[in-house]
Structure 1
Amino acid sequence: MTDHSGRSAYLPDPAPHGAPYTGAAGPRTEVLVTGLGETTALGGDVAGTWNAMLRGESGVVRLDDEPWAKDLPPQIGGRAKVDPGEGLAPQRRRRLSRTAQLAVTAASEAWRDAGLEGAALQPGRVAVAVSAGLGDMQTMIDGWEAFRIRGWRRVPPLTVSMSMGNAAAAAVALQVGARAGVHATVNACSSGTQALALAAGLIRSGEADVVVAGGAEAPLHPLVLASFAAMRALSTRVDDPAAAHRPFDAERDGMVLGEGSGVLVLESGEHARRRGARIYAELAGVGVSSDAFHMVQPHPDGEGTAAAIRASLRDAGVAPEEVGHLNANGTATLPGDAAEVRAVREVFGDAVRGPVLSANKSMTGHSLGAAGAIESIATVLALHHGVVPPTRNLARLDDAFAVDVAHGTPRKLAAEDMVAVKNSAGFGGHNVALTFRGVPR
């Protein structure tokens, strides 16, 4: 149920801008979340996506309107609920790839949400860290087709600048006037989470006061889908798209790809308080590790994931038993979910003592480089509102998984459950974990 603002009517609204943050300052620079923006298969903004998550909806659909879909095994995907180009001027839309369009749409919302639109900021103290796992496949292939069929003179002049891996980050930097550096980490499916980790480092080191950080991806291209299908990583439940992505379920058979973007505004505690910013949460801990095991398979024991989570908790000064919620990677692949559960059990123990898990990809699909940022927003909102969205399509938990997964209906968090972890893992063995600390409710 939502009110006229689009927010859940049965959940408290965020505190207004200017509400004081009462959390205790740590011995180092605090990294605070002050703005959120996203566009996903569930909604064109944060409120739309969040409320759809709470309702357990699915944004996965058949791609019947794509001429190539009928010739491919994966005929389903999570297409953005709202076309990101709709809110852009025609000339700007033509000069941005779909990935960059998704990024600037989310960044614009996050910037407004943080109360920074029109604010007197020092551009030299504002940075950007926005990532994509693939860049933009469509733009590069369109350029190649133009060259192959019509010759080099007909290649669009912006083919390279639109398809390069840092195109989304550069577009966001132009949008907000950031001059303290533009960064674009490429770490496969953990790219967006890695961007947030990098952003936290920029603030802690004193290189920036404000960092616009997150990820964007537009992977619904036939070449990308065909590649994932060839490695047997995608669900074959094309006749029931909404039920296809089944994290931790006994009958899971692979992931579903989805497009989207998630962007967060991070600020130093001093900067945020000085301007009276509304605080969603603190990004208190960062943990990064690498498996060095296989290009596309996680370490079967989840060693790298466990190491990243432990490092994140140490960085935050948090004990495992203090964590009330873990936003899982939840790819719904057989080895991926198994390795993640082993890591969670290794760090937190059994389901009785461990945090409640949630897997948002069951509703949005897997947005690759954007997934970690989109799911970090869900993690922050879970702390902010005191409720964990359900995991969709969990009919029967895998018999080997002794973990507590929220499903069916949202799960309320106790008032003392003020710590949550976001876990991500990507091809190449990239593991990133973020620990968020909530503002007292």
Structure 2
Amino acid sequence: MHRVVVTGTGVISAIGGNTAGFWRALLAGTSAIREILSVDASQIRFRNGAEVRNYVPEEHFEAKDIAFMDRFAQFAVLAAREAVSDADIEWTPDLRETTAVITGSCLGGRAAEESGYWELFHNGKTRVQPLTIPLSMSNAGASHICMQFHIEGPAYTISTACASSSHAIGQAFWMVRSGAAPMAIAGGSEAPFFLGGLKAWEAMRVISKDTCRPFSAERSGMVLGEGAAMLVLETLDAALARGARPIAEIVGFGMSADASHITQPLAAGPARAMRLALRDSGLAPEQIGYINAHGTATEANDRIETAAIRSTFGSHVGKLAVSSTKSMHGHALGAAGALEAVASVLSLRHGMLPPTVNFLTPDPACDLDVIPNHARAAAIEACLSNSFAFGGLNAVLAFKALP
């Protein structure tokens, strides 16, 4: 079994178009939640989201490539480009042949599908755009990453709602640790701002009409976000041999199913996933100093997650710092776990913990140290990143600091 490290990260998000910008915004407590501009929100009961503003595809891709790439797939490639550059990978034929690419996406290119449906059912057209299928397929992000770097190893996409990219990173970690692949590019991407998708979320009645306030008594629901994040994973020995500087070590992964309700979570499932991640990592609960929470700011999630954390950590919970960065970059659905994994490894590297912003009044049912509103300096040994999805599917990643 190999030790596995993160040697590169890439991000495109509402709060930053690259890893450095993302990290600066997290530490500054900058929230990108504001009026939705890409869709006519007059038809929707909520008005706010965390969009990637001022994004121009032509600045990043040639026109012939854009024709084959939905927004979510473009985001995936941009994040992968940065992660590969950050890791300073020198591609060899053997490395290209064996590297894994594992991505997560909840919706994939659903916006491209909606555009076709609009032409058929609203405009009375008899045919749709010929590239609708390659644009809409959820594995397009993984496929385009492979084509970008001529990677021919195992590649696939996981779709487990809001846990998609955490499942993807966990599976990639296990592959590299076992020796099934020497290196992996793993993460997730999402672009949920299209009318039909927003109307579907409106019908769920879980979206806030103002902002995202995780764990705060005044919270009124989640806020959608978009973007992508990718991580380069490789063995510690290989990273050191080529002179790379690892960001952090990924040491554990746990997953579970509630097997209870399609939308209503239980504390037992998330607690089981956290315990399994700890067991897989070999870490004691007392070694965890920070948890990047799923923290959606819905009443059910925040209270259930608090109960799960208390169940898992017992008396150590008083020494745990917990925050939800969704309060800044929004809930990016299938990309959320990857964005939060990047936030977690950067917290370990820099000894700074991002805050839960928009926080007003503590909720007695969410009695955790949620790092309210301002980042905190803290050198911690290890952390968890939680992702809990509709369908009762839970994924937890464990990371450890490196000297």
Question: Which TM-score bucket, shorter chain as reference?
Answer: over 0.9
Cα distance in 2 between the residues matched to 1:166 and 1:117:
25
Tell me, yes or no, if structure 1 residue 83 matches structure 2 residue 58: no
Cα distance in 1 between the residues matched to 2:362 and 2:385:
21
Cα distance in 2 between the residues matched to 1:84 and 1:419:
38
Corresponding residue for 1:72?
A: 44
Gapped runs of 5+ residues in structure 2?
none
Tell me if the contact between 1:351 and 1:403 (Cα under 8 Å) persists in the aligned partners: no
Count, aligned residues: 401
Shift of 1:31: 1.3
Tell me, yes or no, if structure 1 residue 408 matches structure 2 residue 380: no
Shift of 1:121: 5.2
Gapped runs of 5+ residues in structure 1?
1-27, 238-243
SS in 2 for 1:95: coil
1:305 is aligned, of 270, 277, 297, to 270
Tell me if the contact between 1:305 and 1:425 (Cα under 8 Å) persists in the aligned partners: yes
Which aligned runs of 4 or more in structure 1 are off by greater than 6 angstroms?
Answer: none
Tell me if the contact between 1:59 and 1:364 (Cα under 8 Å) persists in the aligned partners: yes
SS in 1 for 2:286: helix
Deviations, residues 265-300 of structure 1 (Å, cap 9, x unaligned): 00122322221211001110000000011111111x
Shift of 1:151: 4.0
Shift of 1:408: 2.5
Shift of 1:94: 2.1
SS in 2 for 1:254: coil
Deviations, residues 74-121 of structure 1 (Å, cap 9, x unaligned): 211111145162311222122100000110010100010000165665
The one-letter code sitting in structure 2 at the alignment partner of 1:363 is M
Corresponding residue for 1:179?
A: 152
Corresponding residue for 1:190?
A: 163
Shift of 1:71: 1.5
Tell me if the contact between 2:6 and 2:250 (Cα under 8 Å) persists in the aligned partners: yes
Cα distance in 2 between the residues matched to 1:128 and 1:84:
25
Tell me if the contact between 2:162 and 2:389 (Cα under 8 Å) persists in the aligned partners: yes
TM-score by length of 1: 0.88
The one-letter code sitting in structure 2 at the alignment partner of 1:287 is G
Corresponding residue for 2:381?
A: 418
Corresponding residue for 1:253?
A: 220
Structure 1 segment 25-40 matched on structure 2, within 5 A: 28-40=1-13
Structure 1 segment 326-405 matched on structure 2, within 5 A: 326-350=291-315, 353-405=318-370
Deviations, residues 347-387 of structure 1 (Å, cap 9, x unaligned): 11257633201100000110000000000000000000001
Q: What is the Cα-based RMSD across aligned positions, in Å?
A: 1.5
Change (3 A) 1:131 1:412: same
Deviations, residues 168-225 of structure 1 (Å, cap 9, x unaligned): 1111111122211111011000001000011012112322111000000001112222
More helix per residue: 2
The one-letter code sitting in structure 1 at the alignment partner of 2:357 is R
Cα distance in 2 between the residues matched to 1:65 and 1:123:
37
The one-letter code sitting in structure 2 at the alignment partner of 1:337 is D
The one-letter code sitting in structure 1 at the alignment partner of 2:52 is A
1:265 is aligned, of 232, 242, 256, to 232
Corresponding residue for 2:108?
A: 135
SS in 2 for 1:400: helix
Tell me if the contact between 1:289 and 1:431 (Cα under 8 Å) persists in the aligned partners: yes
TM-score by length of 2: 0.96
Change (3 A) 1:220 1:103: same
Change (3 A) 1:188 1:313: same
Corresponding residue for 2:243?
A: 276
